[in-house]
Chain A
């Protein structure tokens, strides 16, 4: 296998009117792993992917994908990568099997080979029973699996997955994750865009965090989480009146002021250490404050953003509308 990186992008820029959707993104993605691109809606993830897959021409900057320039050698890039976009880009008015046969033929298989390949893929993706059904009657999870199957009619060297689990139920999400893991095990490099920290954490070996068209942090999931703390302790009381008391106890125990949530009975606090969190809970119950519930969660994307940028993730979402 070649040693050139899967993706090398420098200073990529793309503007739509006045909105700089991508504003100088640098990326270096090694081969043979999952690279997560994490960011809220409108951060510039999809635009970046569209430039890397030759669908959009960058306004500035350069990108080499598997050693080929995305502008000068666009055909070479197209022959080696595949894209599973946000809008499950399968044809609603064809059956699942016809969709895969069409792509097989477009990739250069003879009709008979394309049929064989389609049937193999349908069986492996648990879609054999639905093969003859029009895609418009598929469930969200089935569509997504068909979409991914369509991207690996020929196993690509590099696969772009743009928010593959957005809108899926947990079971379908796990199936997609399994497929991603199987692809990586067979040697495909994956660039995964997601707005879920959980998903990036599950799948990615390295993560870039994108905000307002720029990469604002890069590292392994552990490094990223370390930069924002391990997690957050969420506490909910039976009686909202007692929240000030609970806040005092928590502040004393953990040495930090808790955040008072919009819910008048709830508080939260960033905690790095699970043992200290459980001590704090023990102190709350010794003080007999009437706990309704408590939980120690991973930091959310919002918390990552708050820590990295000082603003919550939603702010960027408005620009999505403009850029779309």
Chain B
């Protein structure tokens, strides 16, 4: 009477035998170690950069534009000559470039949650923070690429760091350490917000004023007193001062120490918060 029970066999899977074989043959391997689970997630992060290079273009194009525009448009007016301004600006844009990249840690995490991928990871018997630990690898790759783009462009434009290659590498290292700290802020945001776009917008809206009201573009002594005060307490200014010092060869231990201390404080607050929100997600 009912027509629902007849199915044309042509609709069946082509290879039923292979299907049974593949189901029958699957011994469960031993549970992976925390390290190998994290490495698997790291591999995933790198693959995403390979398959979706657009996200990298988004974050590197802005600093490149800033570097070109500020140097050639305002450089002469601000510092007397474009080459002198480039010396002042480049370390700041290096920091800016890498810090903007941090927002993507939150975007990537939020995308995984909204798409349901995290559910699958969480239903696996792996070390629970492995996805977060593994993300470090993909994040590092992004930071190194963003930093390299800025430095290479700077050298092409005529930037010559006084502290040489060592100074530049130390500066990049410091920026990347701070980026790891800051990325915990954005993973927290990524766990709280409803969509990847919201994470991106919130991140950029929070970073833009901090970037502009810092010593990246102009020396704070030229500013009104109240603004100078803000620029002086802004941690991004502290980072830029230390990075400039490292690249010019005039860094003080105090400058670098302050930046590391601030990075430690941010990590101490937001890393546990991220892990806690991640565990409780769902």
Q: Are B28 and A107 in contact (CB under 8 A)?
A: yes
**Interchain nearest-CB distance for B128 vs A (Å):** 9
Q: Which of A53-61, A234-242, A305-313 contacts B (4 or more CB under 8 A)?
A: A53-61
Q: Are A123 and B31 in contact (CB under 8 A)?
A: no
Q: Are A182 and B19 in contact (CB under 8 A)?
A: yes
Bound form: Cα–Cα A190–B224 in Å = 69
Q: Among B2, B12, B24, point to the contact of A186 (Cβ < 8 A).
A: B24
**Interchain nearest-CB distance for B12 vs A (Å):** 5
| Interface members, chain B 17-38 (any A CB < 8 Å) | 18-32, 36-37
The 9 closest A-B pairs by CB, nearest first: A87-B116, A108-B29, A89-B116, A105-B40, A274-B1, A124-B22, A79-B125, A124-B18, A186-B23
Whether A81 sits at the interface, judged by CB under 8 Å, is yes
Q: Among A81, A150, A152, point to the contact of B26 (Cβ < 8 A).
A: A152
Q: Are A182 and B16 in contact (CB under 8 A)?
A: yes
Q: Contacts A89-B119, A126-B13 given; indicate if A134 touches B51 (C-beta within 8 A).
A: yes
Whether A297 sits at the interface, judged by CB under 8 Å, is yes
**Interchain nearest-CB distance for B104 vs A (Å):** 13
Q: Are B18 and A123 in contact (CB under 8 A)?
A: yes
Tally of contact residues, A, Cβ under 8 A? 66
Q: Are B115 and A89 in contact (CB under 8 A)?
A: yes
* B interface residues (Cβ-Cβ under 8 A, vs A): 1-2, 4-5, 7, 11-16, 18-32, 36-37, 39-41, 43-44, 47-48, 51-52, 112, 115-117, 119-126, 130, 282
Instruction: Find chain B residues with CB under 8 A from A124 CB.
Output: 15, 18-19, 21-22
Give the residue among A108, A109, A150, A185 with the most B Cβ atoms within 10 A: A108
Bound form: Cα–Cα A153–B31 in Å = 14
Instruction: Find chain B residues with CB under 8 A from A115 CB.
Output: none
Instruction: Find chain A residues with CB under 8 A from B282 CB.
Output: 50, 55-56
Whether A78 sits at the interface, judged by CB under 8 Å, is yes
Whether A175 sits at the interface, judged by CB under 8 Å, is yes
Instruction: Find chain B residues with CB under 8 A from A105 CB.
Output: 32, 36-37, 39-40, 43
Instruction: Find chain B residues with CB under 8 A from A125 CB.
Output: 13, 19
Q: Are B11 and A175 in contact (CB under 8 A)?
A: yes
Q: Are A155 and B26 in contact (CB under 8 A)?
A: yes
Whether A253 sits at the interface, judged by CB under 8 Å, is no
Q: Contacts A79-B31, A89-B119 given; indicate if A175 touches B21 (C-beta within 8 A).
A: no
Q: Among A93, A107, A126, point to the contact of B29 (Cβ < 8 A).
A: A107
Q: Are A90 and B11 in contact (CB under 8 A)?
A: no
Instruction: Find chain A residues with CB under 8 A from B13 CB.
Output: 125-126, 175, 178-179
Q: Among B7, B21, B32, B52, point to the contact of A106 (Cβ < 8 A).
A: B32
Residue of A nearest to B131 (CB): A106
1/0 contact string of A77-91 vs chain B (CB within 8 Å) = 011011101111111
Q: Are B11 and A182 in contact (CB under 8 A)?
A: no
Whether A98 sits at the interface, judged by CB under 8 Å, is yes
Q: Contacts A107-B32, A107-B124 given; indicate if A121 touches B116 (C-beta within 8 A).
A: no
Q: Among B7, B23, B124, point to the contact of A182 (Cβ < 8 A).
A: B23
Q: Among B16, B28, B52, point to the contact of A93 (Cβ < 8 A).
A: B52
Q: Are A174 and B7 in contact (CB under 8 A)?
A: yes
**Interchain nearest-CB distance for B115 vs A (Å):** 6
Q: Are A117 and B26 in contact (CB under 8 A)?
A: yes
**Interchain nearest-CB distance for A199 vs B (Å):** 10
Whether A296 sits at the interface, judged by CB under 8 Å, is yes
Bound form: Cα–Cα A78–B128 in Å = 12
Bound form: Cα–Cα A110–B32 in Å = 9
Residue of B nearest to A183 (CB): B23
**Interchain nearest-CB distance for A155 vs B (Å):** 5
With A78-B123, A89-B117, A126-B14 already in contact, 17 other A-B pairs whose C-beta atoms are closer than 8 Å: A50-B282, A85-B116, A89-B116, A93-B48, A94-B48, A98-B47, A103-B124, A110-B29, A123-B22, A124-B15, A124-B22, A152-B26, A171-B11, A174-B12, A175-B13, A178-B13, A296-B1
